[in-house]
Structure 1
Amino acid sequence: MAQTPEQKLEAMGLALPDAPAPAANYIPYTIAGKILTISGQIPLGPNGVEFVGKLGDTMDVEEGKDAARLCALNILAQAKAALGDLANIKQVMKIQGFVNATPDFTAHPEVVNGASDLLADVLGDAGRHARAAVGMSSLPRGVAVEVDAVIEIA
C-alpha cells in the first residue's frame, strides 16, 4: 500500500505544522474552482521566524535550501488547512521562490530546489511543478526565502 503524504513526512522525520496565520492584510489561500493558490510562505518554524539573512552575504546555498524547504512545509500546512487532506492535491502546478540575495548571487535555482525537492519527495509526481526562482533585494522580516504555490485540487 502506498504511503500517504503525511506518512512520507513522518518517514522523513518531519511533522506538518499548523498552518501559519497571515502576518498582514491578506488571506493564506484562495480557492477558485479546482485551483488552490497559496500566499507566500516564509520560513516560519516552531520558534518563530527562522533563516534570517541574505544569500551571498550572511547565508550559503545549503542554508538557503533549508529555508526554502521550511517554506514548502508551510505550503503543505496551508494546503492541508484548505483541503483537509494532502491526498486532495492533484498537482502542484507552479511555485515561485523569492531569494533574498546580494546582487552578485546567482544560485537562486539551487536554493529554491529545497522547496521543489520537498514537494516532490512528499507528493511524488503530483509535487513536480513549473517554477520561478528570482532574487530580491529584501524580503519580509529579513528572511532568506519566500515561496508561494498554485495547486490543482483532485
Structure 2
Amino acid sequence: MEIEKKIAELGLELPVLPEKPGTRRVRAVRTGNLVHLAGHGPFHEGGYPFKGPVGVTIGVAEARAATRYNALALLSSLRQEIGDLDDVVRIVKINAYVYGEPGFNKPSVVAEGCSDLLIDLYGERGRHARSAVTVAALTLDICCETEMIVEVRPLQS
C-alpha cells in the first residue's frame, strides 16, 4: 500500500468513480501482464468541473492540474482491476487528448500534469511513453482525457 500512502501524503485521494459506465465498454482490460485503461477525464468531487477548450475557456495551467485528476481516476480503475497499486511493474504509455481550438499547440504541456504525478508516485517505474494531441471536442465538454497502459505483476496461480 506504498503508492496509496504516497497519494495521501500528497494530500490527494483516489476518487470513487460512478458505477460501471452505461455503455458496453469497461474501464480496464487485463491481458497477460498488461492492463489497458479506457479514457478517463478529470473526475473531481463527484463530477467533471474542468470544462471547455483549453486556451479559451480554461487556462493551460488549470488544464495541466486537471490531468492530475485524470491520473487519479485511472489509478482508481486500475486498483479496482488489480487490487493493489503496488503491483505495478511499469507505467508503459499514456495517450492524452486535450480539447482545444484549432491551432492549440500545447497538449504536451497539459499532459505533463498526469505524467508528473505518475512519476512522483512510481519513480522510474512511472516514466512512460506518451502521445498528446489536441482534439476538436471531448465527451461531456471535458478539457482533457487520458488513456493508460500498465504492466503489472503476473497473477499468482
**Structure-2-length-normalised TM-score:** 0.92
- Where does 1:59-138 land on structure 2 (aligned, <5 Å)? 59-138=58-137
> Structure 1: where are the runs of 5+ without partners?
none
Q: 1:16 aligns with which of 1, 5, 14?
A: 14
Whole-Å separation in 2 of the counterparts to 1:56 and 1:8 = 32
Contact persistence 2:41–2:144 (CA under 8 A): yes
Whole-Å separation in 2 of the counterparts to 1:75 and 1:47 = 15
Whole-Å separation in 2 of the counterparts to 1:57 and 1:23 = 30
Q: C-alpha deviations, 1:35-89, integer Å up to 9, x for none?
A: 1000000111223112011012111111111111100110110111111010011
Q: C-alpha deviations, 1:75-113, integer Å up to 9, x for none?
A: 110111111010011001000000000112111111000
Whole-Å separation in 1 of the counterparts to 2:33 and 2:125 = 15
Percent same amino acid among aligned pairs?
Answer: 32
Whole-Å separation in 1 of the counterparts to 2:60 and 2:76 = 24
Contact persistence 2:42–2:48 (CA under 8 A): yes
For the residue of structure 2 that corresponds to 1:117, the secondary structure is: helix
Whole-Å separation in 1 of the counterparts to 2:113 and 2:128 = 13
> Structure 2: where are the runs of 5+ without partners?
none
Larger mean Cα displacement after TM superposition, 45-54 or 109-118? 45-54
- Where does 1:40-55 land on structure 2 (aligned, <5 Å)? 40-55=39-54
Whole-Å separation in 2 of the counterparts to 1:128 and 1:44 = 23
Q: CA RMSD in A?
A: 1.3
Q: In structure 2, give the amino acid aligned to 1:13.
A: G
For the residue of structure 2 that corresponds to 1:133, the secondary structure is: strand
How many pairs does the alignment contain? Answer: 152
**Structure-1-length-normalised TM-score:** 0.94
Whole-Å separation in 1 of the counterparts to 2:95 and 2:22 = 19
